[in-house]
C-alpha cells in the first residue's frame, strides 16, 4: 500500500513509483527467501528526515525533488522492505549492527549500488593503503547509532556478507534469530554467545578472520576517494540539518504516526520543509556535491562540500552575509535570491561559469527548467514560466504486488 499527498512530486511520478514499489517488494522477498504476501505499507513524505528512510511497522520514505540525502528511491525502499521482512521473520534480539548490515547487504549498497567489500577494505589502516577509519566491531556493536553512520553501515554490511559467504543464508539466519539479550545489555556479548553456540568461535575471533579477508582486497584510489567523500558528504549533510533543520537530524527526527495522520487528514507536518533562501542555497549545493560524487568528479565534490562547510562556519560565528565567504556558495545564494524574487523555489541548480540552469517549482509539483546568466556580476533570468495551482490532500493507492 503506497500512501502519498496530492500536489507533490510523489503524485506526479506515481505510475513509475508504483511499478518500482512492486519490483522492490518482489526482489526483497526473493532475497530473504520467504513466501510473503501480506501488504507492506509505504508512506512517501515530502521532506527529508534523517537520511531518507525509516521502518517501524510500516515504511516512511522521503520523496521530493530537493532531496539532498539520496535520490535513489528504489535502493532506500528496498533497504526498508528488508527491515520489515526481517522483523516478521522474528528473533528475540536482532542486534542493530546485524539488522542494518543485512539490509545494506541484501540491497546491494547503502545509498547506491556498490561493491561492499572493497569499501570496507578502504577503511583499514593507512599502511595498507586505507583511510585508517576502521571501527573495532565489539564497541561498534554496542554503540552503533552513535558511531559514524556511513562507516558503521559499511562494516556491518560487509560483516554480514562475510558470514553469508562463509556459512550461507540458512546457517546465518539460524544464528541471527537465536541471539538473546544478556543481563548486562551488551549486544556484542549476545552475538558472542550465539556465535559460540552455532559456529564454535567467539566474536573477537570472527573479527580477526573478517579483517584477514579485508586485507586481501585491493584498495583503489577511486574506492578510497569515494568512501572518504561519502563520509564527508553525509557528515556535512547532518551538520546542515543540526544547524538549519534540527527536526530532520536522524537522532532527533520526529517520526509521525502515519496511520493517525492519514485518518485525520493532516498533511502540514509532512510538508514542513525548510524554504528560507539560506536553506535552499545550501540544499542545492549539497545536491550538486552528491551528483559530482556519484559521477566520480571527486575534486569538484570536495570543493562544493568545502563551500557548504565554509558557510556553516560563518553562520556558526554569527557573521552576516555568510555566503560571501566562498565564490561558489555566493553563486548559489545569488541564483536562489533571483529565482525567489520571481516566485520560483529552487530544487536543483547547476553552475557553469557565467551561465546556470535551475530546476524550479512554483505552486505545483511540475518542474520548470530555467536558464540564467551572470551580467555585470549579477545573475539574471533568461526566461519565465506560467503558474499552476493544485489542491493538497491525502490519497491512498494500493500497489499491485506490495
Local confidence band at 275 (pLDDT 50, 70, 90 cut-offs): confident
Q: How many CB atoms lie within 10 A of CB 101?
A: 25
Give me the pLDDT at residue 395, please: 59
C-alpha dihedral sign at 162, 166, 170, 174: negative
| pLDDT > 90 fraction of the chain, expressed in percent and rounded | 74
Find cell 495551482 and name the residue.
Answer: 389
Local confidence band at 107 (pLDDT 50, 70, 90 cut-offs): very high
Find cell 511499478 and name the residue.
Answer: 19
Instruction: Note whether 270 and 260 are within 8 A (CB).
Output: no
Find cell 503558474 and name the residue.
Answer: 387
SS (H, E, C) the chain: CEEEECCCHHHHCHHHHHHHHHHHHHHHHHHHCCCCCCCCCEEEECCCCCCCEEEECEEEEECCCCCCCCCCHHHHHHHHHHHHHHHHHCCCCCCHHHHHHHHHHHHCCCCCCCCHHHHHHCCCCHHHCCCCCCCCHHHHHHCCCCCCHHHHHHHHHHHHHHHHHHHCHHHHHHHHCCCCCCCCCCHHHHHHHHHHHHHCCCHHHHHHHHHHHHHCCCCCHHHHHHHHHHHHHHHHHHHHHHHHCHHHCCCCCCCCCHHHHHHHCCCHHHHCCCCCHHHHHHHHHHHHHHHHHHCCCHHHHHHHHHHHHHHHHHHHCCCCCHHHHCHHHHHHHHHHHHHHHCCCEEEEEEEECCEEEEEEECCCCCCEEEEEEEECCEEEECCCCCCCCCCCCEEEECCCCC
- Pick the range with the lowest mean pLDDT from 54-68, 165-179, 187-201: 54-68
Q: Tell me the mean pLDDT in the region 75-91.
A: 93
Instruction: Note whether 105 and 160 are within 8 A (CB).
Output: yes
Give me the pLDDT at residue 389, please: 44
Q: What is the pLDDT of residues 361-381, one digit of tens each?
A: 998 899 999 999 999 999 999
Domain ranges of the chain: 116-219
Q: Tell me the mean pLDDT in the region 283-298.
A: 97
Cell numbers that stand for 43 in this block: 508512506
Whether the per-residue pLDDT at 230 is higher than 80: the answer is: yes
Give me the pLDDT at residue 226, please: 97
Q: From CA 228, how far away is CA 243, in angstroms rounded?
A: 23
Cell numbers that stand for 200 in this block: 564454535
Whether the per-residue pLDDT at 289 is higher than 80: the answer is: yes
Cα atoms found within 13 Å of the Cα of residue 251, Cβ hemisphere only:
9
Reference 41, options 83, 86, 88, 1; nearest CA is 1
Q: Tell me the mean pLDDT in the region 351-358.
A: 96
Give me the pLDDT at residue 397, please: 53
Local confidence band at 154 (pLDDT 50, 70, 90 cut-offs): very high
- 352: phi then psi, degrees, rounded to nearest 5: -130, 95
Q: From CA 287, how far away is CA 304, in angstroms rounded?
A: 10
Cell numbers that stand for 175 in this block: 544464528
Q: From CA 393, how far away is CA 397, in angstroms rounded?
A: 13
Local confidence band at 127 (pLDDT 50, 70, 90 cut-offs): confident
Q: What is the mean pLDDT of the chain?
A: 90
Give me the pLDDT at residue 400, please: 41
Whether the per-residue pLDDT at 68 is higher than 80: the answer is: yes
Local confidence band at 331 (pLDDT 50, 70, 90 cut-offs): very high
Local confidence band at 398 (pLDDT 50, 70, 90 cut-offs): very low
Amino acid at each position: 500500500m503506497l500512501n502519498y499527498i496530492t500536489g507533490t512530486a510523489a503524485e506526479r511520478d506515481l505510475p513509475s513509483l508504483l511499478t518500482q514499489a512492486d519490483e522492490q517488494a518482489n526482489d526483497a522477498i526473493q532475497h530473504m527467501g520467504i513466501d510473503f504476501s501480506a501488504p507492506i505499507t509505504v508512506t512517501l513524505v515530502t521532506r527529508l528526515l534523517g537520511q531518507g528512510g525509516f521502518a517501524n511497522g510500516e515504511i516512511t520514505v522521503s520523496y521530493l525533488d530537493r532531496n539532498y540525502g539520496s535520490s535513489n528511491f528504489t535502493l532506500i525502499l528496498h533497504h526498508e522492505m528488508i527491515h520489515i521482512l526481517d522483523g516478521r521473520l522474528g528473533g528475540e534480539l536482532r542486534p542493530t549492527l546485524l539488522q542494518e548490515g543485512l539490509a545494506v547487504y541484501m540491497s546491494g549498497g547503502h545509498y547506491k549500488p556498490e561493491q561492499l567489500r572493497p569499501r570496507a577494505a578502504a577503511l583499514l589502516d593507512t599502511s595498507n593503503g586505507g583511510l585508517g577509519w576502521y571501527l573495532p566491531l565489539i564497541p561498534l556493536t554496542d554503540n552503533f547509532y552513535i558511531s559514524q553512520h556511513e562507516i558503521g553501515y559499511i562494516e556491518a554490511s560487509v560483516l554480514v556478507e562475510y558470514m553469508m559467504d562463509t556459512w550461507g543464508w540458512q546457517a546465518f539466519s539460524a544464528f541471527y534469530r537465536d541471539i538473546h539479550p544478556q543481563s548486562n545489555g551488551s549486544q556484542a556479548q549476545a552475538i558472542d554467545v550465539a556465535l559460540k553456540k552455532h559456529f564454535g568461535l567467539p566474536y573477537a575471533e570472527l573479527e580477526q578472520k573478517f579483517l584477514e579477508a579485508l586485507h586481501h582486497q585491493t584498495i583503489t584510489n577511486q574506492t578510497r576517494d569515494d568512501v572518504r567523500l561519502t563520509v564527508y558528504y553525509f557528515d556535512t549533510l547532518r551538520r546542515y540539518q543540526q544547524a538549519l533543520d534540527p527536526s530532520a537530524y536522524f537522532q532527533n527526527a520526529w517520526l509521525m504516526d502515519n496511520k493517525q495522520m492519514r485518518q485525520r487528514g493532516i498533511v502540514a507536518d509532512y510538508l514542513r520543509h525548510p524554504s528560507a533562501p539560506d536553506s535552499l542555497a545550501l540544499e542545492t549545493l549539497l545536491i550538486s556535491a552528491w551528483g559530482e560524487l556519484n559521477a566520480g568528479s571527486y575534486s569538484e565534490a570536495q570543493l562544493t562540500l568545502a563551500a557548504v562547510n565554509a558557510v556553516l562556519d560563518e553562520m556558526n560565528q554569527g557573521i552576516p552575509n555568510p555566503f560571501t565567504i566562498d565564490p561558489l556558495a555566493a553563486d548559489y545564494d545569488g541564483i536562489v535570491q533571483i529565482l525567489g524574487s520571481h516566485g520560483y523555489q529552487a530544487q536543483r541548480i547547476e553552475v557553469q561559469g557565467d551561465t546556470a540552469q535551475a530546476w524550479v517549482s512554483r505552486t505545483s509539483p511540475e518542474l520548470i527548467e530555467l536558464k540564467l546568466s551572470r551580467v555585470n556580476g549579477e545573475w539574471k533570468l533568461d526566461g519565465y514560466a506560467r503558474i499552476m495551482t493544485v489542491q493538497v490532500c491525502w490519497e491512498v493507492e494500493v500497489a499491485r504486488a506490495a
